[in-house]
A and B are shown apart, each in its own frame.
Chain A
Amino acid sequence: MANTGKAFIVSRGELQSLFDAVIARGFMPVGPIVRDGAIVYDELRHVQDLPEGWTEDQDAGTYRLKRRDDKALFGFNNGPHSWKQYLFPPRSKLWQGEKTEDGGFTVEEAEDTEKPFAFIGVRACDLHAIQVQDKVFMSDRHPDPLYAGRRGKALVIVVNCGQAATTCFCTSMNTGPRAQGGFDLALTEVLDGDDHYFVAEPGSTAGFSLLAEVPHTEADKDNVAAALECTARAEQQMGRKIDVSGVKELLYRNYDNERWDALEKRCLACGNCTMACPTCFCSKVEDVTDLTGDHAERWREWDSCFTMDFSYIHGGSVRPTTRSRYRQWLVHKLATWQDQFATSGCVGCGRCITWCPVGIDLTEEVRLIREREKD
């Protein structure tokens, strides 16, 4: 199963001891909670913080929480949040500077005061998303100190998906639903009548030693089969698919496809897709001073390629139309990303579909672009 080939059982009742072990090691556990009618990520202290018995109805432009008829802790897929908010915070200070008496100034890198994070409940698609952002923020030449620092210390606990939303298409992107590696510990939640347990597969030495502190037993053949059945079920439920064969060349050939004109009319350029997307990495910087002007700071904030300001150069925006901005986003995500980072920028999580207020669906758009090209 996992790269260690070893699987263990942690019972539902012992899951709190995993949380305790994580906290005892100095991590801040973050993971899914229910808040404001959605499953979002926040600090977790107890197993009770998890969205027990909750799932979600997702479709293009639709997200609703609803009750499950069981007590699954991870019986949902993903909400509007992704792990990027911890590794690449929506707003972060890069440095601060002080004017000096000789007319000069000094600049100091901002210190990261956060505890190391333990991500609990990372889906396979989102694990890939983290790896996609690693390529952006941890390049050999100019690694981002904040991202690289947090990523290096972060503990990644995967929970493999036991179901898929109608917006999910990880199988098309070859990113899930089962995580294949790159985690410290992978859990698969199994509910079998009154039996409720997790099949745990360590993926790193940190994962092994963490598991050592949690009461567990070795998984038998049936347990392993039950876990595999979970992800097989998710695979079968996969709500959407996208044909990404030759998609880079397809999009490069179709900068003038009539489909973009339809998007000009539909897309609100709100940027929701870029905020919800776990790989979107664009940012702006803000330079500020205090009232005396002697103390300055630089802050970095998430930005979106859907804003006019994003591509502004003296007197105008390079992408003045919604059509051109949606095209930038989609072509980047599926095509130019491959040239830039040798990977797709899309992991098939479906968030951009769910959180689009007008329900634009990139899987559908790519299909239509392909179809229109044939015409």
Chain B
Amino acid sequence: MVEIKGIRTLLAENPFFERMSDDHLETMAGCGKLVHFKPGEFLLREGDEAVTFYLIRDGEVAVESDIPAAGPLSVARVGAGGITGYSWLFPPHRNGFDSIALTNVSALALDGECLRGKAEADHELGYQLMTRFAQVMLDRLQAARRQMLDVYANGRTTDAASG
């Protein structure tokens, strides 16, 4: 119980769960544990079954994909207060990218299957979770689409000019 209370407090600290009710935090705490990674350790591997949701407490994580001959390329960096891993939400529950610790990282790891079960049992909790994930996904989708436009490739080259 002591540990679950600890996890509950840590959950409440993450901005992702801002304004989440105490009851819901309590419920989710049962799915979580505190984890630590050294630089170079993977939190998530691309292609693996997606089972974990990480709330980063401290440190820096790269969301990346390895490109042969070019090496791993980051598409996002996640720091303290950020989250990584939500492929467990929907089938086929497979990670789309690597998440790797760039520094020492401490995080809360929540078991995806456990969370899905709690959300199914309590749809209000499910709604609260979904709105938060949807917000993150919207932000990342918009950012990803802008990155995809590669605006600096053909964008401003001189500054007011042609020729």
* A–B direct touch in complex (beta carbons closer than 8 A): yes
Asked if A252 is an interface residue, CB under 8 A from chain B, the answer is no
Number of A-B contacts defined by CB within 8 Å: 10
Q: Is the CB of B154 within 8 A of A315?
A: yes
Asked if B67 is an interface residue, CB under 8 A from chain A, the answer is no
CB distance from B99 to the nearest CB of A (A): 35
Q: Which of A312, A313, A316 has the most CB of B within 10 A?
A: A313
How many residues of B are counted as interface, with CB atoms below 8 angstroms from the partner's CB atoms? 5
Q: Mark A310-336, 1 if CB is under 8 A from B, else 0.
A: 001111100000000000000000000
How many residues of A are counted as interface, with CB atoms below 8 angstroms from the partner's CB atoms? 5
Q: Is the CB of A313 within 8 A of B154?
A: no
**Across the interface, which residues of B come within 8 angstroms of A315, CB to CB?**
154
**Across the interface, which residues of A come within 8 angstroms of B157, CB to CB?**
314
Distance between Cα atoms of A256 and B85 in the complex (Å): 43
**Across the interface, which residues of A come within 8 angstroms of B154, CB to CB?**
314-316
**Across the interface, which residues of B come within 8 angstroms of A313, CB to CB?**
161-162
Main SS class of interface, A: strand
**Across the interface, which residues of B come within 8 angstroms of A316, CB to CB?**
154
CB distance from B81 to the nearest CB of A (A): 39
**Across the interface, which residues of B come within 8 angstroms of A314, CB to CB?**
154, 157-158, 161-162
Least CB separation from A309: chain B residue? B162
**Across the interface, which residues of A come within 8 angstroms of B158, CB to CB?**
314
Distance between Cα atoms of A314 and B153 in the complex (Å): 11
CB distance from B78 to the nearest CB of A (A): 34
CB distance from A331 to the nearest CB of B (A): 22
Interface residues of A (CB under 8 A from B): 312-316
What 8 A-B pairs have minimum CB-CB distances, sorted nearest first? A314-B157, A315-B154, A313-B162, A312-B162, A314-B162, A313-B161, A314-B154, A314-B158
What are 10 A-to-B residue pairs whose CB atoms are below 8 Å? A312-B162, A313-B161, A313-B162, A314-B154, A314-B157, A314-B158, A314-B161, A314-B162, A315-B154, A316-B154
